[in-house]
């Protein structure tokens, strides 16, 4: 458990705890629109996002305006809640208590792992009969299920593109989560699947999904069972793609968007809002 008052003091961050009351201890970080096990620390930096809060029992970094309009929040009022939240994450990242514990690798029976592949020296679990081709890179905190295949040149579990501007400098947000690739998933060549940001979170590719060449899947995205992502697809961070979805060439799904089950997304489509089950989203007929 981490004490918010103590951490903000160690970071040199001024905070008003007037409306928080009681103990302000948390064990994990998460975003306000995600239901997370308590006790969790999150942030709300604009009154527009108050409606996204899923659990008022958790702790929040907020602005004075948000705290005034939503007295139900157990909140510490700080300047720039979003910036403080991610700086706090980076601050904790240097301590073993926040990161995932280091564990030895486990590799199942009947695997074919190219000697030209890279596998991190800890926190990698590989199931039975997995094929990993040449020049694949498997980073720490990766789990690969039985009968999966990762083709040449793909990177699994790399850091995502998450930066914050702070005054005149750019701060990289540390990635401490993982990747879970379930059984019978195929990942073709030169594809990148990034790990999640927070230690308890994963980017997940569910059973039997098929990922083509040159696909990018960002941090904490979830790809549903049996879905196909065709070459050039980009899936933004925290996006959720349902079961049996087809995403065509060079299509993209915005970060945080939700795509239902049995959806068809045509090539070149930019999905910028949630899509319901069974929908067909296309740019129109080509010649």
pLDDT tens digit string along 151-173?
999 999 999 999 988 778 888 99
- Residue 202 located in a structural domain: yes
Same domain, residue pair 129 and 55: no
pLDDT in tens, 18-39: 766 567 888 889 886 665 666 8
Question: Is it the case that residue 285 has pLDDT exceeding 70?
Answer: no
Count of CA atoms in the C-beta half-sphere (13 A) of 255 = 8
CATH number for the domain including 270?
A: 2.160.10.10
287 within a domain of the structure (yes/no): no
Residue 287's pLDDT band (cuts 50, 70, 90): very low
Please give the pLDDT value at position 134.
98
pLDDT tens-digit readout, 104-131: 999 999 999 999 999 999 999 999 999 9
pLDDT higher for 17 or 245?
Answer: 245
Among the listed residues 33, 89, 122, 219, the single catalytic one is 219
pLDDT in tens, 195-204: 999 999 999 9
Tally of residues, the chain: 287
The CA distances from residue 49 to 33, 52, 53, 85, in Å, are 9, 5, 7, 15
Q: Do residues 87 and 140 share a domain?
A: no
Domain final position from 93, 121, 147: 93
Same domain, 84 and 116: no
Q: How confident is the model at residue 73 (pLDDT cuts 50, 70, 90)?
A: confident
The CA distance from 30 to 112, in Å, is 37
Average pLDDT over residues 206-234: 98
**DSSP label of 81:** H
Its pTM stands at 0.92
Interval 170-191: pLDDT, tens: 889 999 999 999 999 999 999 9
Instruction: Check if the beta carbon of residue 146 is closer than 8 Å to that of residue 126.
Output: no
Whether residues 65 and 149 share a domain: the answer is no
Cα separation, 139 vs 14, in Å, equals 37
Query: 246 in a domain, yes or no?
Result: yes
Structure confidence at residue 252 as a pLDDT band (50, 70, 90): very high
Least confident of 30-34, 94-98, 242-246: 30-34
pLDDT at 192 over 60: yes
Whether 99 maps to a domain, the answer reads no
Identify whether 256 is part of a domain.
yes
Specify if 98 maps to a domain. Answer: no
pLDDT of res. 45: 87
Q: What residue numbers bound the domain in which 48 lies?
A: 2-93
Two tokens, residue 152: 């040449």
How many domains in the chain?
A: 2
> pLDDT: is 75 or 235 the higher one?
235
Annotation says 175 is catalytic: no
Beta strands 28-29 and 40-44: pairing type? parallel
> In the predicted model, what is the mean pLDDT of residues 58-78?
88
């Amino acid at each position: 458990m981490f004490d918010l008052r103590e951490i903000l003091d160690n970071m040199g961050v001024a905070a008003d705890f007037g409306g928080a009351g009681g103990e302000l201890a948390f064990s994990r970080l998460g975003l306000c629109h995600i239901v997370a096990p308590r006790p969790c620390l999150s942030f709300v930096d604009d009154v527009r996002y108050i409606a996204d809060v899923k659990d008022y029992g958790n702790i929040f970094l907020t602005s004075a305006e948000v705290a005034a309009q939503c007295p139900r929040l157990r909140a510490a009022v700080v300047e720039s809640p979003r910036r403080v939240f991610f700086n706090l994450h980076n601050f904790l990242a240097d301590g073993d208590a926040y990161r995932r514990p280091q564990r030895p690798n486990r590799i199942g029976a009947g695997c074919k792992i190219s000697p030209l592949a890279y596998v991190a020296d800890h926190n990698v679990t590989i199931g039975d009969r997995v094929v990993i081709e040449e020049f694949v890179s498997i980073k720490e905190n990766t789990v690969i299920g039985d009968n999966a295949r990762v083709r040449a040149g793909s990177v699994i579990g790399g850091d995502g593109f998450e930066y914050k501007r702070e005054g005149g400098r750019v701060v990289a947000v540390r990635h401490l989560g993982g990747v879970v690739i379930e059984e019978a998933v195929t990942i073709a060549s030169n594809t990148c699947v990034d790990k999640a940001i927070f230690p308890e979170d994963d980017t997940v590719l569910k059973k039997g999904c098929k990922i083509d060449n040159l696909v990018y899947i960002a941090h904490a995205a979830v790809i549903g069972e049996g879905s196909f992502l065709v070459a050039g697809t980009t899936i933004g961070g925290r996006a959720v793609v349902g079961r049996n979805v087809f995403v065509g060439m060079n299509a993209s799904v915005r970060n945080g968007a939700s795509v239902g089950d049995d959806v068809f997304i045509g090539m070149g489509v930019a999905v910028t809002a949630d899509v319901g089950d069974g929908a067909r989203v296309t740019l129109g007929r080509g010649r």
